């Protein structure tokens, strides 16, 4: 497996996460993308809820092959291998929300009112702090594994220069008075992931997602490669997690994976 493996950190992680029902753990000082390693590991039989964590990513990626910036010592870059049950297999579109909701809840420990910028970003005070990238490993026509990639800006060095951003960004440490430790935040995030996974798609899950939605009731612009640009008011979530936007009195339902969103 590629990457610069670090056994000391891996055993620290194992201890810190010992109380959680998770699979195996692999830690690297520097990798291309943790999602790539997790996809390879999934194909090689990684057990459910196995974790790949890296201090630095040299080719971290976002959706549509956009870049995700992960310099050393500054953020969290992790990918989880999930072996989906039947419900999860049929509701892959909820997995991005699972990761986002887990982080929103983990940040409550720091008194941070984080929100979800549909579909895959976590924002604090309207600035992007984290992104989620879910990828799928197929076996024939079946989903063999899901890889849940999560990048979190923890310290200021993790925030890319403004010139490289389409949307303002921040980091967890800049938004709280508390001292943030990456290992502690990781443990809190993992605990929330375990907890929200068991409630995936329930009313509690959908309500929490709706409540965490950023820019609700505000004028937004929704755009996507195959979808006409919509200027309207963000109205909320549909029961299946699609986004509802009202424009000139018409309701538009925007499905997953198609679009981005930004306030006007």
Contacting residues toward ligand BT5, per CB under 6 A: 33-35, 57, 60-63, 66-69, 77-79, 120-121, 128, 131-133, 149-151, 153, 158-160, 165-166, 169
Q: 247 has which bridge partners?
A: 250
- Residue 140 or 161 with smaller CB distance to ligand BT5: 161
- Residue 131 or 232 with smaller CB distance to ligand BT5: 131
- Residue 68 or 87 with smaller CB distance to ligand BT5: 68
φ, ψ of residue 10 in degrees (nearest 5): -65, -40
CB of 249 to ligand BT5, least distance (A): 30
φ, ψ of residue 97 in degrees (nearest 5): -65, -35
CB of 58 to ligand BT5, least distance (A): 10
Q: Based on the number of CB atoms within 10 Å of its own CB, is 154 exposed (0-12), middle (13-18) or buried (19 or more)?
A: buried
CB of 34 to ligand BT5, least distance (A): 4
- Residue 150 or 237 with smaller CB distance to ligand BT5: 150
- Residue 63 or 93 with smaller CB distance to ligand BT5: 63
Q: Answer yes or no: are the C-beta atoms of 159 and 127 closer than 8 Å.
A: no
Name the strands in the sheet holding 127-139, side by side, starting at the edge strand that comes first in the sequence.
25-31, 50-57, 75-82, 142-153, 127-139, 121-124, 115-117
CB atoms within 10 A of CB 64: 9
Q: Answer yes or no: are the C-beta atoms of 81 and 172 closer than 8 Å.
A: no
CB of 133 to ligand BT5, least distance (A): 4
Q: Answer yes or no: are the C-beta atoms of 115 and 214 closer than 8 Å.
A: yes
CB of 12 to ligand BT5, least distance (A): 20
Name the strands in the sheet holding 259-263, side by side, starting at the edge strand that comes first in the sequence.
250-254, 243-247, 227-237, 219-224, 259-263
Residue 246 structure tokens: 């009202």
CB of 2 to ligand BT5, least distance (A): 13
Find the residue with minimal CB distance to ligand BT5.
131
CB of 28 to ligand BT5, least distance (A): 11
- Residue 121 or 235 with smaller CB distance to ligand BT5: 121
- Residue 251 or 262 with smaller CB distance to ligand BT5: 262
CB atoms within 10 A of CB 238: 14
């Amino acid at each position: 497996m590629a990457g610069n493996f670090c056994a000391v950190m891996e055993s620290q992680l194992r201890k810190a996460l010992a109380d959680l029902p998770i699979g195996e753990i692999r830690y690297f000082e520097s990798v291309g993308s943790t999602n790539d390693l997790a996809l390879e590991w999934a194909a090689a039989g990684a057990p459910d809820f196995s974790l790949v964590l890296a201090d630095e990513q040299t080719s971290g990626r976002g959706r549509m092959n956009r870049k995700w910036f992960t310099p050393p010592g500054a953020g969290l870059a992790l990918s989880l291998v999930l072996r989906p049950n039947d419900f999860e297999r049929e509701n892959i579109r909820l997995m991005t929300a699972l990761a986002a909701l887990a982080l929103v809840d983990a940040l409550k420990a720091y008194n941070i009112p984080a929100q979800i910028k549909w579909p895959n970003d976590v924002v604090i005070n309207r600035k992007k702090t984290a992104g989620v990238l879910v990828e799928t490993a197929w076996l024939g026509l079946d989903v063999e594994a899901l890889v849940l990639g999560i990048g979190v800006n923890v310290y200021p060095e993790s925030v890319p220069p403004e010139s490289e951003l389409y949307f303002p960004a921040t980091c967890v440490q800049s938004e709280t008075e508390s001292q943030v430790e990456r290992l502690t935040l990781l443990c809190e995030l993992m605990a929330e992931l375990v907890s929200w996974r068991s409630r995936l798609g329930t009313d509690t899950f959908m309500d929490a997602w709706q409540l965490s939605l950023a820019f609700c009731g505000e004028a937004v612009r929704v755009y996507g490669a195959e979808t006409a640009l919509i200027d309207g008011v963000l109205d909320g979530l549909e029961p299946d997690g699609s986004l509802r936007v009202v424009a000139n009195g018409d309701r538009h339902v925007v499905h997953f994976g198609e679009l981005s969103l930004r306030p006007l």
